[in-house]
Amino acid sequence: MTTSPYDYDLIVIGAGSGGVRAARMAATKGGRVAVIESRYLGGTCVNVGCVPKKLFVYASEFSQAFKDSAGYGYTVDKKPEFDWPTLRDNKTNEIKRLNGVYDGLLNRAGVDIIHGHGRFIDDHTVAVGDREIRAANILIATGSWPVMPEIDGAEHIISSNEVFYLDTFPQDVIVIGGGYIAVEFAGIFNGLGAKTHLVHRGEPVLRGFDDDIREFVSSELEQAGIQLLYNREISRVEILGTGRYRATLSDGSVRETDLIVSAIGRRPLLDGLDIDKAGVEAASAGHLEVNEHYQTNVRHIFALGDVIGRVQLTPVALAEGMYVADYLFGDVPGAVDYDRIPTAVFCQPNIGTVGLTEAEAAKRYERVEVYEANFKAMKNTLSGNPERTLMKLLVDCDSRAVIGAHMVGESAAEIIQGLAVAMTAGATKADFDRTIGIHPTAAEEFVTMRSPARIIGRDREDD
């Protein structure tokens, strides 16, 4: 009987969403699997991303709910008081519980958990401290890390990671960035009572989203009280004797604040991994290039999730992890569909989107119908809340397929998830039209849009 030269069939470096999924599924298929993790089980999403952020979003929405309740007959005898330590510590306890859940999932699947920083010795060997471990296959699932601005006084700026553990809650905050992380945190701080400024080098926010959504959200953010400082960057930060900070902007203006948060993007995390010793090459942008099977240029070394620079979303990493496990251990893997990835931005109001933007559809299709609805939700009629809802459907005129669905409004993510199922199944506009709506809801607007607002495409100007 031949003895294997390897300790494991698969070593996974990184116990985030994608790494854990790949490890668990590989182990259940009979593989000998180990996971190496230097920080926390669950990765960014569970610890300093999706989960704690969504809990903070829930907290931030209560302030508006208290105001809205007056129109429905409620009397609040005194102004509700928000206690930051309670939210922060309750969140931390929930994260600890989830860390334990991930530990249990891996252990029950028979995966060995190795705590420490992994680094390559060669293309089959990973060292953790003084221990060297060999594997037939290695998966890099180390995720991403916040990018910080390179300016004078950058040491006074925190990233989104540190927001979840602040000692005290600020009265005044500057958030740098215009992507979904920046917009979400601006909404959180604003909703929890901080005077909030969003400094963005462009205009409007949320580059890459549908243009109508971007303009609509920007208007709603300002209406909610967030000050949008467009076409500016922070060039210098100084700490004052009061403990506050003075930020000098690129236009020469100066602002004082309690806290400055950078949310200008995330970079693939390959620090200290020594991929060169394994012969793995990184792209010029810093991520790992992979083929359709998530193999790097070294065919038995795989990579997935944020580190490959495609779509930085937890469900995408999960799907990629499932593919790798299937590919390595016998099953026919199902390719990940990157064209219809539903996503959400948990600002106030929420954004949900799936499929093409209007600009993308105009480039790809000859003729596209654009359906729109812009209205005040019924819930806001008695409360006096000025927040509005926007919905869009994009339909290919030739096939009648629904190729894009976008929403800004309460529960947008919950609604768009259902539409994503329909679009993945190939739903046409006729399928939407013959679907009975649930009344009275905002969601029924998606099945009652009868007349297009305009027709766009490669062969014509907007009508």
Helix H or strand E segment including 402 = strand 402-408
Buried b (16+ CB within 10 A) or exposed e, 264-294: bebbbbbeebbbeebebebeeeebbebeeeb
260, β-bridge pairs:
174
CATH number belonging to domain 349-456: 3.30.390.30
As given in the structure block, the two tokens for residue 51 are 């989960």
Q: First and final CA of the chain: distance in angstroms? A: 74
Q: Find all residues with CB under 8 Å of 99, minimum gap 6, and list them.
A: 40, 41, 42, 46, 47
H-assigned helices in 124-198? 160-163, 180-191
The verdict on domain 154-264 having CATH code 3.30.450.20 is no
Written as one string, the DSSP assignment of 348-372 is: SS-EEEEE--HHHHHHH-S-EEEEE
The whole-number pLDDT of residue 458 equals: 79
pLDDT along the chain (463 residues), means of 10: 83 97 96 96 94 97 95 88 97 96 96 97 97 98 96 97 97 97 98 98 96 97 97 97 97 97 96 97 95 97 96 95 94 87 95 97 97 96 96 98 98 97 97 97 96 86 49
Identical topology for domains 8-146+268-328 and 349-456 = no
Task: Compute the distance between CA of residue 353 and CA of residue 415 in angstroms, rounded to an integer.
Answer: 10
The catalytic residues are 439
Which DSSP category does 336 fall into?
P
CA-to-CA distance for 450 and 319, rounded, in angstroms? 35
**Predicted pLDDT of residue 357:** 97
What's residue 2's pLDDT? Answer: 53
Q: Alpha-carbon distance 57 to 199, whole Å?
A: 20
Helices (H) and strands (E) in the chain, counts: 12, 23
Q: Which two tokens stand for residue 273?
A: 């991994």
- pLDDT computed for residue 4 by the predictor: 83
d(CA 247, CA 96): 35
Domain 8-146+268-328, architecture per CATH:
3-Layer(bba) Sandwich (3.50)
Alpha-carbon gap, residue 150 to 173, rounded angstroms: 19
Alpha helices in 130-196 (DSSP H): 160-163, 180-191
Calpha distance 145→136 (Å, rounded): 28
Write down the pLDDT at residue 1.
Answer: 46
Q: Residue 305 is encoded by which pair of tokens?
A: 């999730």
Q: Any idea what DSSP says for residue 458?
A: T
Q: Residue 9 in contact with residue 32, Cβ under 8 Å?
A: yes
Question: Hey, where are the domains in the chain?
Answer: 8-146+268-328, 154-264, 349-456
Distance CA 57, CA 189 (A): 9
Which residue carries 């580059």 as its tokens? 207
d(CA 199, CA 232): 6
Residue 459 pLDDT: 60
Instruction: Supply the pTM of this predicted model.
Output: 0.95
- State how far the Cα of 340 lies from the Cα of 291, in Å rounded to an integer: 20
Q: What is the DSSP letter of 38?
A: S
Segment holding 206, helix H or strand E? none
Q: Which residues of 178-198 are buried (b: 16+ CB within 10 A; e: fewer)?
A: bbbbbbbbbbbbbbbbbbbbb
CA–CA separation, 299 and 19 (whole Å): 18
What pLDDT does residue 463 have?
A: 47
